[in-house]
Structure 1
Amino acid sequence: MDQADARVLSGEVVVRWWFKARRGHALLPLAMVLFAGGLYAVQDTSVLLPALTGAPRVALSLFVPVPLLACLMAVLESRLPAAEVSGVRSVTRLDNLLVVSVAALALLCGVLVAALNGTSTAVTCGRNAVFLTGLMLLGRAWAGQTAVMIPVGWLVTVVVVGFRGNVPHLWTVIALPADNLFAAAASLIVFAAGLAAQIRSSRKTA
């Protein structure tokens, strides 16, 4: 076995070890099933919720990404920090690749469910999953695992003060329609910032 083959084999071992340590084989399929099932179940359903500005009709799909985010956080926090910091530089890149893959699958799932149901709500939910994931990763850089509550806090804030009548404010992002360019751009920017923060948070020892 030459050095090139040895490096390939070593890389494969690292990936297998990393994925097993992250419990990706168990948590990621569960996350996607919950996300797809939630999308299909709620479809275009909306409910009246109490808010400071009245009682806006809020799409239930806003809350569908929450289980996906919880599972993703559990995956990222299932690790051996000391070993990862001391020996394996590629783990940070693997974590970012995992996050990007989950976000891409959420978007794809939204498109497929939207095509099946003939509505754009599922596409909006896929975009929102990207935005909320970015928020969660930004918070994880300083708050650790408790940052999983940041997207939940954003959702509550949007419901309570994010509407003027039934019209969402621009800053809410997640309440905006699927074809809103600002929401798409904001989601990508926040997601990219979250990935940058992930580089730091993935190499923390505590």
Structure 2
Amino acid sequence: MTWWFKARRGHLLLPLAVVLFAVGLYVVQSNTVLLPSLTGSPRIALSLFVPIPLLALLMAALESRLPAAEVSGVRSMTRLDNTLVTAVLAAAVLCSVLVAAVQGSAQATTGGRNAMFLTGLMLLGRAWGGQAAVMIPVGWLVTVVLIGFRGNLPYFWTVIALPPDSVSAAAASLVAFIVGLAAQIRSSRKTA
């Protein structure tokens, strides 16, 4: 297991990912920006963009592998990869809760929820597109900014733009994450 973790560069990439995520959430706080949109003039929370470095480093860790050795090996790496992803996301959710407690604002908790949703999308795309799937969360963010608002109110399908107390956004994030982990099972034994 130690070799697996070192092959994934987990000791370097994952602590950096979690630190960047926590610092990003703390720095942006509850700040919003006005971005161009096709369907309104929404004020977008900067915290929507904080999970992107976390996802990029997570994908780099997952793709830092020796595919031929893993496919020919007796032991499947799927369980270990899913445990790695779950641990990183648990750390991200914990960081978002801690930052929200320090700031006294619930807005930071959306960072962990959004990271779960976007990770699920990324892992689902990774099953078919490989490393290029790291761009799926970025595409989702651009789509939400461009057509995800009616005036200044987000549509229900955006998930990541919904308020921190949205139960449907939390449920959709959890479902997307679980589906992404299931898709990870399919993609982890491929060599290409």
TM-score range relative to shorter protein: over 0.9
Give 2:123's match in structure 1, choosing from 134, 137, 162.
Answer: 137
Q: What does the per-residue CA deviation read over 1:46-69, in whole Å, with 9 as the maximum and x for residues that have no partner?
A: 000010013210000000000000
Equivalent residues in 2 for 1:82-161, closer than 5 Å:
82-161=68-147
What residue is the counterpart of 1:70 in the other structure?
Answer: 56
Per the normalisation by structure 2, the TM-score is 0.98
Correspondence 1:178 to 2:151:
no
* SS class of match (2:33): strand
How big is the shift at 1:42? 0.1
* SS class of match (1:50): coil
Q: Give the distance between the partners of 1:101 and 1:90, measured in 2 at CA.
A: 18
How big is the shift at 1:179? 1.2
Q: Percent identity?
A: 76
What residue is the counterpart of 1:54 in the other structure?
Answer: 40
> How many residues end up aligned between the 2 structures?
192
Runs of 4+ in 1 over 4 A off after TM superposition: none
Q: Give the distance between the partners of 2:166 and 2:120, measured in 1 at CA.
A: 18
Q: Give the distance between the partners of 1:88 and 1:187, measured in 2 at CA.
A: 33
* AA aligned opposite 1:154: W
Task: Identify unmatched segments of 5+ residues in structure 2.
Answer: none
Q: What does the per-residue CA deviation read over 1:120-175, in whole Å, with 9 as the maximum and x for residues that have no partner?
A: 11101110000000000000000000000000000000000000111000000000
What residue is the counterpart of 2:31 in the other structure?
Answer: 45
Q: What does the per-residue CA deviation read over 1:160-199, in whole Å, with 9 as the maximum and x for residues that have no partner?
A: 0000111000000000111111101100111000000001
Task: Identify unmatched segments of 5+ residues in structure 1.
Answer: 1-14
What residue is the counterpart of 1:35 in the other structure?
Answer: 21
Equivalent residues in 2 for 1:3-18, closer than 5 Å:
15-18=1-4
Quote the RMSD (CA, aligned, Å): 0.7
* SS class of match (1:177): coil
Larger RCO: 1 or 2 (CA < 8 Å, sep 6+): 2
Q: Give the distance between the partners of 2:19 and 2:174, measured in 1 at CA.
A: 24
Q: Give the distance between the partners of 1:102 and 1:177, measured in 2 at CA.
A: 23
Per the normalisation by structure 1, the TM-score is 0.92
